[in-house]
Amino acid sequence: MNRWTSKLLWGLVLLAGACMEYGPQPEEAFDRSGRGVFITCEGNFMWDNASLSYYDPRTREVENNVFLRANGMKLGDVAQSMALHDGKGYVVVNNSGVIYVIDPATFRITGLIEEVVSPRYIHFVDEQTAYVTDLYDPRIAVVDTRTNRIRSRIDMNGHRSTERMVQVGSRLFVNCWSYDNKILVVDTETEQLVDSLTVGWQPNSLVLDGNGKLWTATEGRDGEAPALWRIDPATLEIERRFDLPSANPPSKLALDARNNRLYFIARDVWRMEADAESLPAVPFLPYTGTLYYGLGIDPDTGEVYVADAIDYVQHAVVYRFTPEGGAVDTLRVGITPGSFCFKQR
């Protein structure tokens, strides 16, 4: 066999049997103690491409895919939210049915909460107890944070799609989003649903302001305007309702705790004082062609982070602003960044 024939044959063998590069992922060591911002990037539903980005506001460095790089495995499908508690990070991965517990400095997995089919948000009731809301289960899962096991489930009287949770004393408030219009009240001592309040169609957010008032944002439907609602959590009275144009439903309500201001997205990004009696006239950040997808306020500095998912299939951008609206930085993160989680000192 001459030299060329031999080369040709080897080439054919390589062409036929070359490896398709699917195998173990290398693991990277991180040590990011100190302040930082976690950005959960949802990815695309059923595309298995959710990711976690980490941003250091001091050095302005962004690290993408930190979960995958630290653990050698994917985060999963639709990273919905993240919370920090007792020195641990809890990343809620909606369509993977899991909450990963990670070390917020090394990003390594230290535990996981399973047996939740479609988790949305996690809230810490006390040192040993966390509640998890779900898109489809009409119950809130009660987690023992020492073992990461489900301890019990609180019946929501048929209300599926429980979302964000806010606690005032022993009462926990939760908004029911999909095809619903309720804010439910759970007694955290008896772990029972004790009360409810009707608001507008599809309340998608819930925050507690510095004055101790609850705020929610509803999407509205035919014959009902989208609105912001201010609620007295003690009496469950609706104190104020701010209607918005039907084409611009509000979402992603966030609180600047330091300055007691509310931010929300309604086509533009808006900011209003928590004790304002009317909607602002001028947006904090005007719409520039794409819908803003995520919004987060740094509780330490009052800085504003706004996510633009662009076409939902590429590395999105996050814009960082001073509380006064001055541009600070622009960072590239993963696909469809939906929520921010701030690691404080």
Partner 1 sequence: MFRSAAILLALLCTGPVLAQHDSTARTVAIEQVEIAGVRPMKEIGVQRTVLDSAILRENISSSLADALSSGSTLFIKSYGRATLATASFRGTAPSHTQVTWNGMKMNSPMLGQVDFSLIPSYFVDDASIYHGASSVGITGGGLGGAITLGTKEPDAQGFSMRYVQGVGSFTTFDEFLRLSYRGERWSSSTRVLVSTSENDFRYRNYDSKQFVIGADGQISGDYYPLQRNRNGAFRDLHLLQELYYTSRQGDRFSLAAWYLDTDRGLAMLSSDRNTTREKRNSQTERTLRAVVSWDRLFGGLKAGVRAGYTYDDLRYLMESDPDGLGNFTPITDARSRIHTFFARAEAEYAPNERWMFAANVSAHQHRVHSGDLSLIDATSGRRADTLYRQQRFELSAFASAKWRPVPRLGIAADLRWELYGNRTTPLIPALFVDWLLARRGNVVLKASAARNYRYPTLNDLYFQPGGNPDLDPERGWTWDTGIESSLKNSRSSLRLSATAFDSRIDDWILWIATAKQGVYTPINIRRVHSYGLEGKLAASTVTSGGWRLLFDGNLAWTRSINRGDKFSEADESVGKQLVYIPVWSAACTARVMWRRWELSYKWQWYSERFTMSDNNLGVLGRVAPYLMNDIALEKSLEFRHLDLSIKGCIYNLFNEEYQSVLGRPMPRLNAAVFIGITPKFGKR
Is residue 210 within 8 Å of residue 216, measured between CB atoms? Answer: no
| Torsional class of 22: left (φ above 0), alpha (ψ -120 to 50), beta (otherwise) | beta
Number of residues that bind partner 1 (CB under 8 A): 92
Binding window for partner 1 (CB under 8 A); candidates: 108-116, 234-242, 254-262, 296-304: 108-116
Binding window for partner 1 (CB under 8 A); candidates: 123-131, 143-151, 256-264, 295-303: 143-151
What x/- string results for residues 146 through 165 when contact with partner 1 is judged by CB under 8 A? xxxx---x----xxx-----
Min dist CB 171 to partner 1, Å, is 21
> Which one among 35, 84, 106, 111 touches partner 1, defined by CB under 8 A?
111
State which residue, 64 or 81, has the beta carbon closest to partner 1: 64
DSSP 29: -
Min dist CB 280 to partner 1, Å, is 18
Between residue 112 and residue 131, which ones bind partner 1 under the rule CB under 8 A? 112, 114-118
> Which one among 120, 182, 271, 343 touches partner 1, defined by CB under 8 A?
182
Between residue 62 and residue 91, which ones bind partner 1 under the rule CB under 8 A? 64-65, 68, 71-77
Q: Other CB atoms closer than 10 Å to residue 109's CB: what's the count?
A: 17
Assign 96 to helix, strand or coil: helix
State yes or no: residue 137 binds partner 1 (CB under 8 A): yes
Min dist CB 97 to partner 1, Å, is 4
Cα 200–205–210 angle (5° rounding)?
A: 110
Count Cβ neighbours within 10 Å for each residue of 199-210 and write b for 16 or more, e otherwise. bbbbbbbbbbbe
Tokens, residue 277: 């009696």
State which residue, 73 or 194, has the beta carbon closest to partner 1: 73
Between residue 228 and residue 257, which ones bind partner 1 under the rule CB under 8 A? 247-249, 251
Closest by CA position to 81, among listed 68, 92, 67: 92
Between residue 190 and residue 229, which ones bind partner 1 under the rule CB under 8 A? 201-202, 204, 219
Amino acid symbol at 83: A
Binding window for partner 1 (CB under 8 A); candidates: 121-129, 145-153, 274-282, 321-329: 145-153
Is residue 132 within 8 Å of residue 125, measured between CB atoms? Answer: no
State which residue, 139 or 271, has the beta carbon closest to partner 1: 139
Assign 270 to helix, strand or coil: strand
Rounded Cα distance, 231 and 211, in Å: 11
State yes or no: residue 314 binds partner 1 (CB under 8 A): yes
Min dist CB 160 to partner 1, Å, is 8
State yes or no: residue 308 binds partner 1 (CB under 8 A): yes
Between residue 12 and residue 51, which ones bind partner 1 under the rule CB under 8 A? 15-25, 43, 46-49, 51
154-161 contacts, C-beta under 8 A, 24 or more apart: 154/186, 154/191, 154/192, 154/193, 155/193, 156/184, 156/193, 157/184, 157/193, 157/196, 159/184, 160/134, 160/135, 160/136, 161/134, 161/135, 161/136
215 — phi, psi (to 5°)? -130, 135
> Which one among 232, 310, 323, 329 touches partner 1, defined by CB under 8 A?
310
Min dist CB 129 to partner 1, Å, is 14
State yes or no: residue 10 binds partner 1 (CB under 8 A): no
